[in-house]
Amino acid sequence: MQLLTPANWQEYELIDSGEFQKLERFGKYYTIRPEPQAVWDKQLPEKEWGKWAHVSFIQSGSNSGTWKKHKEMPDRWYIHYTLPNQSKIQFKLALTAFKHVGVFPEQAVNWDYIFQSIKNSGTQTPRFLNLFAYTGGASLAAKAAGADVVHVDSIKQVVSWAKENMDRSNLANIRWVVEDALKFVKREVGRGNHYQGIILDPPAFGHGPNGEKWKLEDNINEMMKYVVDLLDSKQHFLILNAYSLGFSSLIIENLLSKNKKNLTIGELFLESKTQQKLPLGVFGRILKQ
């Protein structure tokens, strides 16, 4: 089992975590957000957190709340990430009502892997599918590497956000699909389409544009059966990433057991400046070259 953390972030840092919170830097702004995995004590004193923070998220519901500003900062700002070829992908960040800001920094591990896998594929224009694609970090990495990219998410506003990130990254021609991911992969299998690369990072809970319900433990097995059928038979890679409390990497291994000889499983984490390792999801990767 592999434990992986990003190595190339310049505009993101996890400063400290503990007591169900995390202190982070995004560009030049510092945020305090809830973090259910951070069950330990903070390493820095409260006054240090207060000295750093521009804004903190005050949770009022299970997944919603409001932001409290402690210092002047914009509601929207921009950061970049440097890919292995030194090109930069750009992200708009925003203070949303759901504690997220528009990027999951631990996913940079997967962006690098996608970029290198496409570059090493030997295929002139490999097809790449990003499911539950959010603001498009994986889509941008794949397009920067030269792939023909299909980006699928059920929320129209999030897809528009991803398109803005593409434009700011000086990329073009990603295919945008606003649809329930499970419905999309079923139709793609029926059409006989195949991809050389696929990533999916499904939420614990979600809704499609027409009220479709997604629950990770109820739907992931069916989803993976269709996704595996979409892989090109000669050459492919697949990344399944899951962030859900209690979701083990052994579940990923069992879901992908038919591809065991080409399978790697592990866990993503971010290491703080105070040297804690914050777990942020389990993953499985299939690679056939």
Contact 184, 177 (CB under 8 A): yes
In a domain, 81, yes or no: no
- Residue 273's closest CA among 44, 76, 7? 44
The number of residues in the chain equals 289
44: domain CATH number is 2.60.40.1180
Q: Are residues 121 and 46 in the same domain?
A: no
C-alpha to C-alpha distance for 186 and 180, rounded to whole angstroms: 10
In a domain, 95, yes or no: no
SS3 assignment, position 119: helix
In a domain, 89, yes or no: no
Q: Are residues 69 and 114 in the same domain?
A: no
Q: Are residues 39 and 165 in the same domain?
A: no
Contact 32, 55 (CB under 8 A): yes
Q: Are residues 123 and 21 in the same domain?
A: no
Q: Are residues 25 and 68 in the same domain?
A: yes
The pair of structure tokens assigned to 13 is 């840092």
Distance set, CA 75 to CA 26, 98, 152, 166, 279 (Å): 13, 14, 26, 20, 28
In a domain, 185, yes or no: yes
Give pLDDT tens digits for 125-152.
999 999 999 999 999 999 999 999 999 9
Contact 166, 143 (CB under 8 A): yes
Q: What's residue 62's pLDDT?
A: 73
Q: What's residue 66's pLDDT?
A: 96
Of 60, 76, 92, which residue is a domain's last?
Answer: 76
Stronger pLDDT, 167 or 260, i.e. the higher one = 167
In a domain, 127, yes or no: yes
In a domain, 25, yes or no: yes
Domain range for 18 is: 6-76
The pair of structure tokens assigned to 213 is 């319900």
Contact 169, 88 (CB under 8 A): yes
Give pLDDT tens digits for 64-89.
899 999 999 999 999 999 999 999 99
Of 24, 41, 76, which residue is a domain's last?
Answer: 76
> pLDDT band for position 259 (50/70/90)?
confident
Q: Are residues 60 and 126 in the same domain?
A: no
pLDDT at 260 > cutoff 90? no
C-alpha to C-alpha distance for 236 and 289, rounded to whole angstroms: 7
Q: Which helix (H) or strand (E) holds 156?
A: helix 156-168
Q: What's residue 224's pLDDT?
A: 96
Give exposure, 179-199, as e/b (b: 16+ Cβ within 10 Å): bbbbebbeebbeeeebbbbbb
Mean pLDDT in residue range 215-244? 94
Q: Are residues 55 and 151 in the same domain?
A: no
Q: Are residues 175 and 56 in the same domain?
A: no
Q: Are residues 147 and 191 in the same domain?
A: yes
Give pLDDT tens digits for 18-42.
999 999 999 999 999 999 999 999 9
Phi, psi of 105 (to 5 degrees): -60, -30
> pLDDT band for position 57 (50/70/90)?
very high
In a domain, 97, yes or no: no
Of 61, 76, 91, which residue is a domain's last?
Answer: 76
- Number of compact structural domains in the chain: 2
> pLDDT band for position 155 (50/70/90)?
very high
Q: Are residues 70 and 121 in the same domain?
A: no
Q: Are residues 209 and 69 in the same domain?
A: no
Q: What's the distance, CA 21 to chain centroid? A: 20
Q: What's residue 247's pLDDT?
A: 85
Q: Are residues 144 and 270 in the same domain?
A: yes
In a domain, 206, yes or no: yes
Q: What's residue 244's pLDDT?
A: 79
147: domain CATH number is 3.40.50.150
Contact 74, 55 (CB under 8 A): no
